[in-house]
Amino acid sequence: MLNNKKILVGITGGIAAYKTIELIRHFKKANAEVRVVLTPAAEAFVTPLTLQAISANAVSNSLLDPQAELAMGHIELAKWADLVVIAPASADFIARLRAGMANDLLSTLCLATASPILLAPAMNQQMFKQIATQENLAVLANRGVQMIGPNSGFQACGDVGAGRMSEASEIFQAVCEHFGYSQDLQDLTVTITAGPTREAIDPVRYISNHSSGKMGFAIANAFAQRGAKVNLIAGPVNLVTPDKVNRIDVKSAREMAQQAVEFAQKSSIFIGCAAVADYRMAEVASQKIKKTDGSDELILKLVKNPDIIASVANLSQNRPFTVGFAAETQDVAHYAKDKLKRKNLDLICANDVSGGQVFGQDQNSLQLFWQNSEKILPLADKTKLAETLAEEIITHYRSKNKENK
Ligand code: PMT
């Protein structure tokens, strides 16, 4: 989500510094590059070694360190950052920042940087209430310094009031929003199926297809990035689970059906992107099937699998907004429209899979069909395409909800 964004995390002296370790973990999981700068007081609360391990970069703590100035000196560090996040920001640091002081590495960096600064203040409630602190914060806000928190509640010193540093997840969200990633789908639960299913023939063989799961995983990621709770029911694939996604691994269509119907009923939106095997063995052989010398043929008897998306779309209670996919090699629009009607879907996303152009590839294009309209999403990386598709789904989901009210 924060792919290659360069975030300089400044930590000042305060008990809340322990929460910053969690914050850095969030940044790293979202693929940001993180460098940490500690004030001398911060070192009483967290160690450079821990922060070096979590951020995967050397930690800076001294303005006049000849070794550090040889490598990434303080001016370089100030230029490097896309965003400076100071968490916790103590009353003392806020006062020094307002005064424009440069008497340690962090305050010098703040003076030397042209990048935006986000402060997460944390201090005793009385210190926070003081006119001096309030004035300092107001002046900084006027200069364009961004703030998050503090929260109210019990404090480490025993007081109750405003002064607790915002939670790591709240600061992470503020940073995502700063970079234009909105967390507007926090009230939504979305369930997505992805990848192939595997239908056993005997203990060593199975029937499956070429789905890699890339399309479905990209959709899961697109929704999770915007704060939705995402359940991803995945067939056997070789992909890393996107951040903040609840992944449920399954193998066969029947296993997928069981999980999908259960999760769908607790979801606002269901998206069937999995390439589900339409048929399975009537009976799975208990031992490896042997080659017989007498015949050149082996006939396998197959029976129909449950149609997962049709079961979801026909739920009599708690039916989610239901989106299907159609993988076609000919007459794409015709077959897709037929599936839209037959399976009782709200939307179908058709892709032309002829000539191996979608399965396992990094790019795709889609033709979307609703009951009364259609739209083309042109060829793009599956990640980008999934973001556009998520936006389309949300728009139609919201307008359907409005109509039903
Ligand atoms: O995984 P990738 O390599 O990235 O490839 C992406 C993809 C090609 C798998 C994906 O874009 C796609 O098209 N997925 C649907 C594939 C498919 O099975 O299409 P279908 O036309 O056979 O099925 C129509 C719809 O019914 C699909 O939503 C499917 O999930 C669903 N279905 C099908 C059979 C079944 N028994 N139960 C179902 O729910």
CATH number, domain of 318, equals 3.40.50.10300
Q: What residue's CA is closest to ligand 1, atom 8?
A: 359
223 and 97 in a single domain? The answer is no
Out of 178, 201, 227, pick the residue that ends a domain. 178
Q: What sign does the dihedral 226-232-235-239 (CA atoms) show?
A: positive
Q: Which atom of ligand 1 is nearest to the CA of 308?
A: 39
Dihedral through CA 331, CA 333, CA 338, CA 341, nearest 10? 170
Ligand 1 probe mutation, 211, 263, 357, most atoms within 8 A of CB: 211
Residue 386 located in a structural domain: yes
Cα gap 259→234, rounded to integer Å: 10
Cα gap 190→206, rounded to integer Å: 30
Out of 156, 178, 200, pick the residue that ends a domain. 178
Report pLDDT for 292.
Answer: 84
- Residue 199 CB partners (closer than 8 Å, separation 6+): 206, 207, 208, 252, 253, 277, 279, 280, 281, 305
Report pLDDT for 245.
Answer: 95
Catalytic residues: 157
Asked if pLDDT for residue 65 goes beyond 90, the answer is no
225 and 303 in a single domain? The answer is yes
CA angle 306, 311, 313 (to 5 degrees): 145
172 and 200 in a single domain? The answer is no
148 and 233 in a single domain? The answer is no
Q: Determine the distance separating the centroid of ligand 1 and the alpha carbon of 275, expressed in angstroms.
A: 4
What stretch of H or E contains 287? none
169 and 234 in a single domain? The answer is no
Q: Determine the distance separating the centroid of ligand 1 and the alpha carbon of 312, expressed in angstroms.
A: 14
Residue 390 located in a structural domain: yes
Asked if pLDDT for residue 405 goes beyond 90, the answer is no
Cα gap 267→191, rounded to integer Å: 6
- Going through 173-298 in order, the beta strands assigned E by DSSP cover 189-194, 199-202, 205-207, 229-234, 245-249, 269-272, 279-281
Q: How many CB atoms lie within 10 A of CB 375?
A: 12
Q: What residue's CA is closest to ligand 1, atom 35?
A: 307
Q: Determine the distance separating the centroid of ligand 1 and the alpha carbon of 398, expressed in angstroms.
A: 24
The first and second tokens of residue 336, run together, are: 């897709």
Out of 146, 178, 210, pick the residue that ends a domain. 178
Query: Alpha carbon of 399 to those of 321, 341, 346, 405: distances in Å?
Result: 11, 20, 12, 10
Report pLDDT for 2.
Answer: 87
Q: Which atom of ligand 1 is nearest to the CA of 343?
A: 26
Write out the residue range of the structural domain in which residue 25 sits. 6-178
Q: Determine the distance separating the centroid of ligand 1 and the alpha carbon of 324, expressed in angstroms.
A: 7
pLDDT digits (tens, 9 = 90+) for 292-311: 888 889 999 999 999 999 99
Tell me 43's DSSP state. Answer: G
226 and 353 in a single domain? The answer is yes
Q: Which atom of ligand 1 is nearest to the CA of 349?
A: 13
Residue 78 located in a structural domain: yes
Tell me 346's DSSP state. Answer: S
CA nearest neighbour of 238 among 212, 217, 256, 274: 212
Asked if pLDDT for residue 1 goes beyond 80, the answer is no
Burial class (CB in 10 A: 0-12, 13-18, 19+), 137: buried
Residue 1 located in a structural domain: no
Residue 91 located in a structural domain: yes
145 and 221 in a single domain? The answer is no
160 and 265 in a single domain? The answer is no
Confidence at 62, pLDDT banded by 50, 70, 90: confident
212 and 324 in a single domain? The answer is yes
Q: Determine the distance separating the centroid of ligand 1 and the alpha carbon of 199, expressed in angstroms.
A: 15
pLDDT digits (tens, 9 = 90+) for 66-106: 666 666 678 889 999 999 999 999 999 999 999 999 999 99
Residue 75 located in a structural domain: yes
**Which ranges of 153-213 would DSSP assign to H, the alpha helix?**
168-178
Question: In angstroms, how far apart are the furthest CA atoms of the chain?
Answer: 96
Ligand 1 probe mutation, 192, 276, 322, most atoms within 8 A of CB: 276
223 and 127 in a single domain? The answer is no
Residue 367 located in a structural domain: yes
Residue 272 located in a structural domain: yes
% of the chain with per-residue pLDDT over 70: 98
Q: Which atom of ligand 1 is nearest to the CA of 364?
A: 11
Q: What residue's CA is closest to ligand 1, atom 20?
A: 326
Residue 94, domain CATH: 3.40.50.1950
Ligand 1 probe mutation, 273, 279, 311, 384, most atoms within 8 A of CB: 273
Q: How many domains does the chain have?
A: 2
Q: Determine the distance separating the centroid of ligand 1 and the alpha carbon of 274, expressed in angstroms.
A: 5
Report pLDDT for 69.
Answer: 67
Q: What residue's CA is closest to ligand 1, atom 23?
A: 326
Q: Determine the distance separating the centroid of ligand 1 and the alpha carbon of 277, expressed in angstroms.
A: 9
Q: Which residues line ligand 1 (CB under 6 A)?
A: 193, 195, 211-215, 253, 272-276, 278, 305, 307-309, 324-327, 339, 351, 353, 358-360
Cα gap 261→258, rounded to integer Å: 6
151 and 271 in a single domain? The answer is no
Query: Mean pLDDT score of the chain, rounded to an integer?
Result: 95
271 and 345 in a single domain? The answer is yes
